Amino acid sequence: QSADNTPALVIGSGYGAAVAALRLGEAGIRTLVIEMGRLWEAPDSGGTVFCSMTAPDQRSMWFKRRTEAPLSTFLWLDVINKDITPYPGVLDRVRHSNMSVYVGRGVGGGSLVNGGIAVTPPRAYFQEVLPGVDADAMYGTYFPRANRMLGTATIPSDWFESTEWYQYARVARAQASAAGLKTVFVPSVYDFGYMQREAAGTATKSALAQEVIYGNNHGKRSLDKTYLAAALGTGNVTIHTLSRARAIRRAADGTYTVTVDRIDTTGAVTATDEIACRALFLGAGSLGTTELLLRARETGTLPGLNAEVGRGWGGNGNVMLGRANHVWNPTGAHQSTIPVTAIDDWSNAANPVFAEIAPLPAGTETWASLYLAITKNPERGTFTYDAAKDAAVLNWTAGQSAPAVAAAKSLFDRVNAANVTIYRYDLFGDTRAFAADFCYHPLGGCVLGRATDAYGRVAGYPRLYVTDGSLIPGSIGVNPFVTITALAERTMARVLAEDDVGR
Ligand code: FDA
């Protein structure tokens, strides 16, 4: 396809990509979105679009023979993971040495599989992480715009206090409080009106039916229902699915050509397209965008990319852990999959931690409290290009996760001491209490102001942009998608005002 047919090309369809697609479409620019995953729209023969966490099938994971859930065992028993047929399922676990990264695959990217927690970071920490970004504009314009578009809301507190579905969160709150720690409500993109109807038995259950990491059949305002629906509504945006961008090159006339492999549901490449465009927006996520640019630099198709491409990666200091409760303090057999509370000790300068109070929706009483702690781990990883594998490889040592574990341990030792409780050692496939060898929040690789200018314009390459989580240098202190969305809004406002992105 020539650049006349495709003025703007967007790679990926997660947060950064979806914002780009909508704002380009609204500006009247014909835009093609390339997404390697499926469109998750049609129910299968069983009547659902997605499978639940407790009964995973081929739709659960991206070309795996067995599911690879973050909690792999229970009471050390291998009862959680199931054999499946390889298929373009919705959740991927990308394995690097000492660090696995969970990402969403499909139209909507991470929004399909994530917990929907929509937090705006504390302003002081945002400024510390991205000092080159005008915080007044972010907090006055772009964060509010992102939250409005994403449909962010907070759970009605009277319902939270009374429903059995959040007993686990109330128990964890009381235990944090006993240790002198503050708990906050975290906003969400899940529709709490819908959730209350689920509880009342008047709507089909989703959050209350153990659905989340393999997709929610109802209730969650994922990007396909917000930004991407609006993008398609402009009439200028088209999405190609099961299409994986592989290579990027630039012609003498300044247009970009992207090599795109089309795959079928077995993963076989059925065709390869060369798609030319005037402006190229990379929204393939921290791993995807970094790999595309690193490969382009190292194979010489975009040789002028600077040395910052591949640097500044972090997993937002993610650590998962469980605590064992006393038998007289049950967390409930009924647990909503959508987290709505967090222990907020970020202002503790000696040991900042923001710990999401996570569900363990097993359908039976587990006497466990689960958390995803976000810590201020200063360690950063670097990607290098492995020519033999034609892939970006993350260089991350086990020792680089140690500061995150120490921070989480410091906070939860306090919670355990105050409640005379211990950790759970049976959840992560061995006897560890802390899992810091996987993350949900990959950030960095093409950091704003280093690999790009202050607006995501890739250094040295006009009309080539990064719009996703790879812009954030490894840490943002809270769950990241609101920040990714708001930064993409800021980029698109600037780019559409200043750059000739082609009509
Ligand atoms: P994102 O990863 O969303 O999208 C990238 C897209 O590009 C994907 O659809 C991918 O398939 C596609 N792609 C990649 N390479 C490609 C290629 N070469 N060609 C074509 N397409 C390609 N965050 C939060 O704020 N609150 C929360 O509650 C949670 N919870 C959570 C739970 C779980 C299980 C996970 C895995 C993640 C979360 N997150 C989260 C993290 C959040 O989902 C994540 O930060 C964002 O989705 C990242 O947005 P991006 O725009 O960077 O990329």
User: In this structure, are residues 344 and 120 in contact, taking their beta carbons and an 8 Å threshold?
Assistant: no
> What pLDDT, on the 0 to 100 scale, is given for residue 483?
98
Which residues have CB under 8 Å from 140's CB, separation 6+?
none
Residue 54 pLDDT: 84
Percent of the chain at pLDDT above 90? 93
99, 27 in Cβ contact below 8 A? no
* DSSP code of residue 33: E
312-328: pLDDT as tens digits: 999 999 999 999 999 99
CA torsion 338-341-346-350 (nearest 10°) is: -100
- Give the residue, out of 105, 239, 440, with the most ligand 1 atoms within 8 A of its beta carbon, to mutate for a pocket test: 440
Window from 61-75, 82-96, 406-420 with minimum mean pLDDT: 61-75
Separation between Cα atoms, residue 250 and residue 493, nearest integer Å = 25
Per the annotation, the verdict on 298 as an active-site residue is no
| Residue 363 confidence (pLDDT) | 87
Is beta strand 99-104 parallel, antiparallel or unpaired with respect to 438-439? parallel
pLDDT category of residue 6 using cuts at 50, 70 and 90? confident
Atom of ligand 1 nearest to the CA of 16: 51
Q: Whose CA is nearest to atom 4 of ligand 1?
A: 14
> What pTM did the predictor assign?
0.98
Burial of residue 422 (number of CB atoms within 10 Å: 0-12, 13-18, 19+): exposed
Say how far apart CA 394 and CA 310 lie, in whole Å. 9
* CB distance 182 to 343 below 8 Å: yes
Amino acid in position 130: L
Pocket lining: 244 vs ligand 1, CB cutoff 6 Å: yes
Mean pLDDT across the chain, nearest whole number?
A: 96
Q: What is the DSSP string of 232-285?
A: HHTTSEEEE-SEEEEEEEE-TTS-EEEEEEEE-TTS-EEEEEEEEESEEEE-SH
Is 60 exceeded by the pLDDT of residue 503?
Answer: no
For residue 3, is pLDDT > 90? no
pLDDT at 78: 77
Q: Does 283 contact ligand 1 (Cβ within 6 A)?
A: yes
Q: Is the pLDDT of residue 502 over 80?
A: no
| Range 343-358 average pLDDT | 97
Q: Which of 9, 15, 448 has most ligand 1 atoms within 8 Å of CB, for mutation?
A: 15
Q: Is 15 in the pocket of ligand 1 (CB under 6 A)?
A: yes
Active site residue 356: yes
pLDDT of residue 65: 97
Q: Which residue has better confidence, 467 or 54?
A: 467
pLDDT digit string, tens, across residues 244-292: 999 999 999 999 999 999 999 999 999 999 999 999 999 999 999 999 9
Question: Is a pLDDT exceeding 70 seen at residue 293?
Answer: yes
Pair type for strands 341-345 and 353-358:
antiparallel
The whole-number pLDDT of residue 39 equals 98
Residue 209: per-residue pLDDT? 95
How deeply is 376 buried, as exposed, middle or buried, from its count of CB atoms within 10 A (0-12, 13-18, 19+)?
Answer: buried
Mean pLDDT of 381-400: 98
Nearest residue (CA) to ligand 1, atom 14? 284
- Pocket lining: 25 vs ligand 1, CB cutoff 6 Å: no
Cβ neighbours of residue 343 closer than 8 Å, sequence gap 6 or more: 172, 176, 181, 182, 183, 353, 354, 355, 357, 371, 411, 415
With beta carbons less than 8 A apart as the criterion, state whether 435 and 405 touch.
Answer: no
As a whole number of angstroms, the distance between CA 383 and CA 369 comes to 35
8 A C-beta contact, residue 53 and residue 212: yes
- Ligand 1 atom at minimal distance to the Cα of residue 15: 51
The distance between the two most distant Cα atoms of the chain, rounded to a whole number of Å, is: 72
- Are 71 and 427 in contact by the 8 Å Cβ rule? The answer is yes
Q: For ligand 1, is residue 109 a contact (CB within 6 Å)?
A: yes
pLDDT for residue 248: 98
The mean pLDDT of 4-21, rounded to a whole number, is: 95
